[in-house]
Every structure is written in C-alpha cells, then in structure tokens.
C-alpha cells in the first residue's frame, strides 16, 4: 500500500533518528558521513582512506581501533554503491556501550527525505545529526499566504522547505497620504484599490494552489487585521477557503522573510493539524469499543495479530511510543519462536525449554506490523502519544489497537480462564494446514483438552506472544 510506504519511511526515519541521537561513545569515536547526491563514491573512499591513516595517531589504543573499524565498516558499505542515491546518503557508524563493559558496533545508513547539500565527515563522541533534524518535520505540503495592504507573498511549505511562488506589491495608497482630495473621496479610492489588490492575490492563489490536492491546508499570515479581512470577505476560491487553517498567524513581514516567520509561528498549529487527524482515528476506535459487544474494535497484540492474519483489520492504530522489538529466537535444542520483547540485546529464554536462546532475526515491532498490514491492504496509522487519546492508546491498550472490517468472534470468559491456567504452548493437534480457528481462545480450549503440547513451525502459531502475557 503506497500510502503505508510513505508512513513507514517516515516512522523508520524518525525512529532511527531517536536511536542515533541517544548514543554516546566512550571516546571520540562515533563517525557521521554526509554524502550529497553529486559526490563521487571514489572521492569519499579516498577521503576515508586518509582519515584511516590519520586515525593511527590517536593515543588511546581502544579509541583508535574503534575509529578504524568504523571507517572500515563504512567503506565496506559504500562499496555496494555505484553512486549516491537521490537526496544523497548519510552513514552513522561506531562502537556504542552496551550492558556492562561491552560495546557493540552500530551502523545506520539513512536515505534522507530531503537532499543533502554538502559533504561532511565528523568524528565525535556523539553522532552529528543537525542537518537531519529539520527533516523530521511533517513532510506534507501547506500553502502559504502572507498579506497586508502593501504587499502579499504566496508560497509552499513542503517538509522544511519553503518555496516562494509569487510576490505582489500593491498600489494601495497609504491612509496617511495627504492629497488635495477630500478625505472621504480619498478613503473610497483606497478601498477600491485594496479590493482590486485582494482580488488579484486571491486569483493568483487559485492559480497556484487549486490544482494541488496534496496541500493539506493553507496558512495565512500578516501583521494586522488585513489577513482576517481577506479571509472573512471571501476573496479566496471556496475550495481554498475550506483549507485555510485557523487561527490566522501574526507575522511582522509579508515578503519572503514573512513566509519563514509564518512557518515558524505556525509550527504548533501544524502539529495540531496532524494531532487532530490522529484524534479522529482514535475517536472512531472509542466509538466502536463503547458499543455493548465491542463493535468493530480490537486491541492488544495477540488479538490484533489474530485479526490481521484473518485479513479483518481495516485500520491499525499503533502508538509511536511502542518501543519494542519483534525477534525470532532459536535455542540450542532447535526450537524457534517469534516473540515481542522490550530489548533484543537482553537475555532471552526459549519459552519451551528455558534455555538461553539466540536472536536470529530482529525487527522493530512497528515495522513488523507494517509488513503484515501490507499483505491485507490494511491502513496503518502511527499515533503520537502527545494527545490525550494517543496517551490512552499507549497506556490503556498497550499501544496496539485496530478497527475491524467485520466482527471477529470473541470467547466467553470461562474459556479465557481455562486458557490462562493452561501454560504457554499450543497442542500437537493444531497442525500446519488445519483450518485456522476464527477465535484464538477456541484453540486454547482444545489445547487444554489435548496435552501434551509442543511448539511447531506453523507461522501463525510461532508468531504468538507467550500465552502468559496475553490479556483478553
Ligand atoms: Zn528450546
């Protein structure tokens, strides 16, 4: 689903940035490389070789080794590129502390959402992320209008980039003009000139904004009451008027710098626009859950996964604060399980034999859901925890909820209590290929009746969270 792709890219970028900025090196040994699209890979390689030999002068042996191995790792990665991709490439690489005395090498390769303009190499105790920070803003576009009686500017905000489209100086005389004409007549002339000017601005706005469906709103700013008058008197095309975001924004200027001021002052409003959208999704979910039979709501990882597997989920609501990993583990006895864990680096025991297991696949939980959702054309919405509704999603529903396409039957509570007391694994009788039960609790009941149970590689069952952590 193309829509999900953009959202996923945005989420992945944001998530990677959170991780990258959280690392602190033991020494000056974390390397950040920014490569613009037009830079030759061979030049970057030459630069790295030079840095590599410089690094041999580093006094601390450990730091030297860390820096050199990070450079090696970056060079190895770069070898896989013929040329930088569109927008360029950013690589972060270095040894970061783990539990105890250990360190681990991390490497992030970022395809930035906006173009990298200059080549940069930094080696420091933190990764250098400043050029990427601005790109974290909402990537959708807004129309921009700044207006007063003397001038007006039209522009577009996409991501953090402001593009000036048109600028007009008005011929409206200043009100303080002391001409020979009577003041009443002069006032009238001013108003006519102003009217003509506003019409011209509005006509141009129609021309540049109307055929851009990607604009999710129009921000209007200016120093005085003119902007309010301009909007209230309906100069704008009615389709554009619907997109004007209130409140209008006060700015000191109406030229190009005014557009920048408008965007700066409207940052809170832009965040609110997204939050409002998220709130609406959550309200839809709450409306369902308030129905006596739970309506089309579904929540909790196990239930939502089950509904997803059935293709029953219309919209998946995931909290941005869901900081978990989806791992595949393997124990020495050869059992494999898919589990959701808080930390993939922590010791994980095989749920079957309790032996220490090795992580063979490790993925962000939300990315895992994105992949699953794509199979069934399910829309994924990442909900920030910044609104009351978003906070509730995280705290009351474990950060995972869904609005269903059709009802998935639920089980009576007696089944659930049986299932809870039954221990962690599924029955032998549920073989790959057997019909999938429409309700996860049903299978729990059959499990209770047909011990002994052991796990098998049937994907749907492997992807279960251990029973003991489930909440119906
Ligand atoms: Zn095992």
pLDDT digits (tens, 9 = 90+) for 235-283: 999 999 999 998 999 999 999 999 999 998 988 888 777 788 888 899 9
**459 CA → ligand 1 middle, Å:** 17
Residue 413 has pLDDT above 90, yes or no: no
CB atoms within 10 A of CB 53: 10
Query: Cβ(29)–Cβ(69) under 8 Å?
Result: no
- pLDDT (average), residues 423-433: 42
Q: Is 470 or 92 the better-scoring residue by pLDDT?
A: 92
Read off the pLDDT band of 166 (50, 70, 90).
very high
> What pLDDT shows up at residue 177?
55
> What pLDDT shows up at residue 103?
86
**356 CA → ligand 1 middle, Å:** 8
10 Å CB burial of residue 171 (0-12, 13-18, 19+) is: exposed
**309 CA → ligand 1 middle, Å:** 25
Sign of CA dihedral 57, 59, 61, 66: negative
> What pLDDT shows up at residue 212?
83
**321 CA → ligand 1 middle, Å:** 31
> What pLDDT shows up at residue 131?
84
Query: Cβ(216)–Cβ(273) under 8 Å?
Result: yes
> 137: Cβ–Cβ under 8 A, 6 or more apart, which residues?
159, 160, 270
CB atoms within 10 A of CB 270: 19
> What pLDDT shows up at residue 296?
92
Q: Which helix (H) or strand (E) holds 438?
A: none
Q: How far apart are CA 165 and CA 153, in angstroms?
A: 8
Q: How far apart are CA 128 and CA 303, in angstroms?
A: 41
In 3D, which of 78, 215, 196, 202 has the Cα closest to residue 156?
215
- Residue with the two structure tokens 């809870």: 420
Percent of all residues in the chain with a pLDDT value above 70, rounded to a whole number: 83
Give residues whose Cβ lies within 5 Å of ion ligand 1. Answer: 331, 333, 335, 350, 352-353
> What pLDDT shows up at residue 427?
40
Could you tell me the CA-to-CA distances from 207 to 143, 201, 237, 240, 269 in Å, in that order? 12, 10, 10, 11, 25
**455 CA → ligand 1 middle, Å:** 9
Instruction: Among 88-92, 121-125, 210-214, 356-360, name the one with the lowest average pLDDT.
Output: 210-214
Q: Is 411 or 29 the better-scoring residue by pLDDT?
A: 29
- pLDDT (average), residues 393-406: 93
- Residue with the two structure tokens 């990764």: 127
Q: How far apart are CA 212 and CA 15, in angstroms?
A: 30
Q: How far apart are CA 58 and CA 125, in angstroms?
A: 14
Read off the pLDDT band of 340 (50, 70, 90).
very high
> What pLDDT shows up at residue 460?
38
Structure tokens at 397: 């529903």
> What pLDDT shows up at residue 160?
66
**pTM for this predicted structure:** 0.62
> 185: Cβ–Cβ under 8 A, 6 or more apart, which residues?
none
Q: How far apart are CA 303 and CA 408, in angstroms?
A: 9
Q: Angle at Cα 324 formed by Cα 319 and Cα 327, nearest 5°?
A: 135
- pLDDT (average), residues 204-225: 90
**49 CA → ligand 1 middle, Å:** 46
**243 CA → ligand 1 middle, Å:** 58
Q: Is 4 or 340 the better-scoring residue by pLDDT?
A: 340
**103 CA → ligand 1 middle, Å:** 28
Residue 461 has pLDDT above 60, yes or no: no
Query: Cβ(379)–Cβ(314) under 8 Å?
Result: yes
> What pLDDT shows up at residue 220?
95
Taking phi over 0 as left and psi of -120 to 50 as alpha, with beta for the rest, 260 belongs to alpha
Determine the distance from the C-alpha atom of residue 439 to the mean position of all C-alpha atoms in its chain, rounded to a whole number: 32
Q: How far apart are CA 31 and CA 47, in angstroms?
A: 13
Structure tokens at 424: 């962690």
Helical ranges in 60-182 per DSSP H:
61-78, 130-133
Q: Angle at Cα 33 formed by Cα 30 and Cα 39, nearest 5°?
A: 165
Query: Cβ(180)–Cβ(174) under 8 Å?
Result: no
**466 CA → ligand 1 middle, Å:** 13
> What pLDDT shows up at residue 135?
75
């Amino acid at each position: 689903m193309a829509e999900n792709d953009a959202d996923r890219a945005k989420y992945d970028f944001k998530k990677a940035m959170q991780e990258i900025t959280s690392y602190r090196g033991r020494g000056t040994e974390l390397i950040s490389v920014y490569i613009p699209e037009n830079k030759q890979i061979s030049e970057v390689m030459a630069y790295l070789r030079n840095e590599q030999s410089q690094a041999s002068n580093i006094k601390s042996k450990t730091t030297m080794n860390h820096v050199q191995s990070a450079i090696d790792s970056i060079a190895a990665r770069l070898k896989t590129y013929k040329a930088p991709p569109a927008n360029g490439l950013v690589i972060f690489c270095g040894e970061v502390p783990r539990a105890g005395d250990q360190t681990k090498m991390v490497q992030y390769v970022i395809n930035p959402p906006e173009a990298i303009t200059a080549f940069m190499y930094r080696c420091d105790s933190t990764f250098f992320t400043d050029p990427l920070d601005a790109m974290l803003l909402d990537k959708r576009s807004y129309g921009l209008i700044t207006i007063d009686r003397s001038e007006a500017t039209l522009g577009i905000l996409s991501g953090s980039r402001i593009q000036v489209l048109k600028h007009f100086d008005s011929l409206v005389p200043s009100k303080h003009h002391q001409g020979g004409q009577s003041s009443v007549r002069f006032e009238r002339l001013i108003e006519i000139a102003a009217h003509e000017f506003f019409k011209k601005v509005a006509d141009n706005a129609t021309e540049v904004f109307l055929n851009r469906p990607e604009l999710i709103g129009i921000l209007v700013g200016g120093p005085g009451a003119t902007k309010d008058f301009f909007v209230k008197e309906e100069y704008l095309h009615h389709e554009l008027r619907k997109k004007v975001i209130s409140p209008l924004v006060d700015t000191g200027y109406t030229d190009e710098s005014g557009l920048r001021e408008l965007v700066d002052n409207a940052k809170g409003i832009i965040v609110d626009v997204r939050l409002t959208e998220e709130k609406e999704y959550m309200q839809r979910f709450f409306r369902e859950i308030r129905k006596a039979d739970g309506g089309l709501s579904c929540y909790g990882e196990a239930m939502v996964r089950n509904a997803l597997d059935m293709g029953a989920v219309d919209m998946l609501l995931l909290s941005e604060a869901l900081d978990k990993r989806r791992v595949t583990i393997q124990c020495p006895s050869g059992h494999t399980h898919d589990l959701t864990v808080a930390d993939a680096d922590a010791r994980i025991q095989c749920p079957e034999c309790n032996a220490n297991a090795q992580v063979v696949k490790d993925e962000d939980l939300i990315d895992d859901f994105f992949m699953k959702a794509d199979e069934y054309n399910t829309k994924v919405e990442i909900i920030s925890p910044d609104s009351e509704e978003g906070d509730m999603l995280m705290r009351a529903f474990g950060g995972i909820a869904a609005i269903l396409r059709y009802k998935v039957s639920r089980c009576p509570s007696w089944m659930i209590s049986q299932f809870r007391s039954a221990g962690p694994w599924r029955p032998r009788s549920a073989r790959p290929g057997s019909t999938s039960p429409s309700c996860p609790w049903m299978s729990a009941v059959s499990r209770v009746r047909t011990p002994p149970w052991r796990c098998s590689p049937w994907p749907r069952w492997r992807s279960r969270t251990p029973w003991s952590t489930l909440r119906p």
